[in-house]
Amino acid sequence: MAGKQKYEAVMGLETHVELLTETKMFCGCKISFGEDKNIYTCPVCLGHPGTLPVVNKKAVEYALKIALALNCSINHYTIFHRKNYFYPDQSKNYQISQFDLPLGVKGYLDLDMGDYTRRVNITRVHMEEDTGKLVHTGSTGRISEAGASIVDFNRCGTPLIEIVTEPDIRTPEEARQYMVELRNLILYLEVSDCSMEQGSLRCDANVSIRKQGAGTLGTKTEIKNLNSFKFLQKGLAYEIKRQTALLESGKEVIQQTRHYDNNTDTTKALRSKEEAHDYRYFPDPDLVPLNIEQELIDRVAASIPELPQQKAARFKKQYGLSDYDADFLANDTYMSQYFEDVCQHYGDAKAVCNWIMGDFSALVNQQQIPFEKAKVKARDLAEMLKMIDSGKISSKIAKSVFEQMFSTGRKPEAIIEEQGLTQISDTGLLQGIIDEVIGNNPEAVSQYREGKQKAIGFLIGQVMARTKGKANPKLVNEMIVKKIK
Ligand SMILES: [Zn+2]
C-alpha cells in the first residue's frame, strides 16, 4: 500500500452547548452575554459554603430535548457529581457535572456526506454548569502578553450540555459535518443560540492514528476549545498529519492536550492529559437525585419539532426538490418555513426554491442580515412570481422589483404601478419599435437570414434596451422572426 494510505485517523468529539434558559443551572441568577462584569452572581453560583443549589427544571427539559433528538436512551434515575479541579474561573474548586449516570446514553446522529452516510454514535449526553471567564488584559487578549487576568463570573453556572461521541469519525470533513448537523438540530430545538463566536457552542476533538484495519486505537491527543467549523476541520487535518509523520519516522505519539493556533495553522501542546480519576468525582451531597418520569419524557418528546433531516426528506417527496435544494432549505429553520409559506400561495415549488436560494439569499448575504429579518412577505413573493407567469412583468424586471421589495418591504403591485414596469405585450406598440430596430440593423438581419441564429439575440437586445427591459422577450422574439424570415 502507498505510504499515505497506511494509516487511518480515528476521531471523537465532545461538544459543549450553553442552554438558553433565563436563569442559571442551580440558582436564580440571570444569564447574560456582554454585560458589565460580575453583575449576575450570588453565593450559590460562587459556591459559598453552606449555600444550597437547586436544579433548574427548564434546563433539564432542554437537556432531555437534545438527548431525545439524538436518539438517546434516557436514564430515569440520574444524579449530579462534583468534578474536582482547581481553575481560577471556578470559585468552588469543583464543577457540578454528571459522571456514571448521565441523562442520556447510546444515541446516534447520521451524517449526510453526499456519497455516503456516516453514523456517529453518541456515547452520552450529560448536564453540567459552565465556568466563569478569564479576561486577559492587554490588546492581544493572550495570557502570555497580559498584564493581569480578571475573572468574570457572569457565565459561571450557565446550564451546559456535553455531548460525547464514540470514536466513529474518520475524516476532518466528517467532523465538520457532524458539527454543522448538530448545530442545525439544536437550533431547531430552540434550546441554545449555538453561537460559536460567543462560545455557546464549542468542541474538543480527540484524534488518534492507527494502521489501516487495526482493531485497537492508537494514542490520542485532544484539541481543546475549537470554536469554528473551519478551525475544527483544519486543526484535525494538521493533527492527523503531525501524528502520521511521527509514526512514519518510528516515533511515538504522546497523549496530551493541544491547542489549535489559527495564525500558524498548527497545534501546540498545552499539557499532559489528566485521567478521569484525577477529578475525584463524587455525588454532590447538596443535590437530590433526579427521577425522570416517563410522563416528562413523553411530554418533551412530543414537543420536538420536525428535525432538519426529516424535513429535507419530506421536501424531496412533497415538493419534488433535489437533494441539494432540500438540504439547503431544511438546514435553516426560518428559510424552510418561509419556503413553505410561499408555496401556500404559489404552486411552482422549484421556482420558489430558486428565488430563495438565488436572489433572496444573495441579498441576505450581501447586506449581512439574518434571513428571518428580511422584509419580503411570503405572500408578496408569491404575487410577484404569479406576475412573471402571467407576463405582467418580465423576469428581468422582476429582479429589480424584488430588490426594492427586499429593501422597502413594499408590495410588488405598488412598485410596478408606481414605476410603470408592466411588461409590454401590446403588439401594436412593439411592432413600431421592432420595425425601427430591423431598419437600423440590416447587418444583423442578413446574418440571421444566412443562418446565424445568434443574430436574433442582438435584435431582441436592442428592443429590450429601447423599452428599458419592459418588452415581453418571448413575444419580441416571435415578432422579429415572423418579420424577417
Ligand atoms: Zn447565582
Tens digit of each residue's pLDDT (9 = 90 or more) over 235-265: 999 999 999 999 999 999 999 999 999 999 9
- Has residue 207 got a pLDDT over 90? yes
Euclidean distance between the first and the last CA atom of the chain, given in angstroms as a whole number: 67
Burial 47-76 (b: 16+ CB within 10 A, else e): beeeeebebbebbbbbbbbbbbbbebebbe
Ligand 1 centroid to Cα of residue 155, in Å, is: 10
Ligand 1 centroid to Cα of residue 49, in Å, is: 14
Ligand 1 centroid to Cα of residue 75, in Å, is: 27
Ligand 1 centroid to Cα of residue 154, in Å, is: 9
User: What is the percent of the chain where pLDDT is above 90?
Assistant: 74
Q: Given the C-alpha cell 435553516, which residue does it identify? A: 332
Give the neighbor-by-neighbor strand order of the sheet with 73-74: 73-74, 104-112, 117-129, 159-165, 7-18, 201-211, 221-226, 256-261, 266-272
Fill in the DSSP letter of residue 202: E
Angle, helices 57-69 vs 172-189, to 10°: value is 130
Ligand 1 centroid to Cα of residue 287, in Å, is: 16
- Greater confidence (312 vs 5) lies with 312
The DSSP H or E segment spanning 193 is: none
Ligand 1 centroid to Cα of residue 43, in Å, is: 6
Ligand 1 centroid to Cα of residue 289, in Å, is: 21
List, in sequence order, every beta strand (DSSP E) within 227-341. Answer: 256-261, 266-272, 282-283, 290-291
Q: Given the C-alpha cell 502520521, which residue does it identify? A: 244
Ligand 1 centroid to Cα of residue 34, in Å, is: 17
> Phi/psi of residue 269, each to 5°?
-70, 135
- Has residue 421 got a pLDDT over 80? no
Mean pLDDT of 305-326: 95
Give the confidence band of 5 by pLDDT, cuts at 50, 70, 90. low
Note whether 159 and 56 are within 8 A (CB): yes
Mean pLDDT of 337-341: 97
| 121 vs 11: CA distance, rounded Å | 12
Ligand 1 centroid to Cα of residue 94, in Å, is: 15
Closest CA to 67 of 296, 283, 301: 301
For the whole model, what pTM was predicted?
Answer: 0.83
Ligand 1 centroid to Cα of residue 280, in Å, is: 24
Ligand 1 centroid to Cα of residue 160, in Å, is: 15
Note whether 185 and 44 are within 8 A (CB): no
Ligand 1 centroid to Cα of residue 151, in Å, is: 15
Confidence (pLDDT) at 2: 45
Ligand 1 centroid to Cα of residue 39, in Å, is: 10
User: What is the percent of the chain where pLDDT is above 70?
Assistant: 98
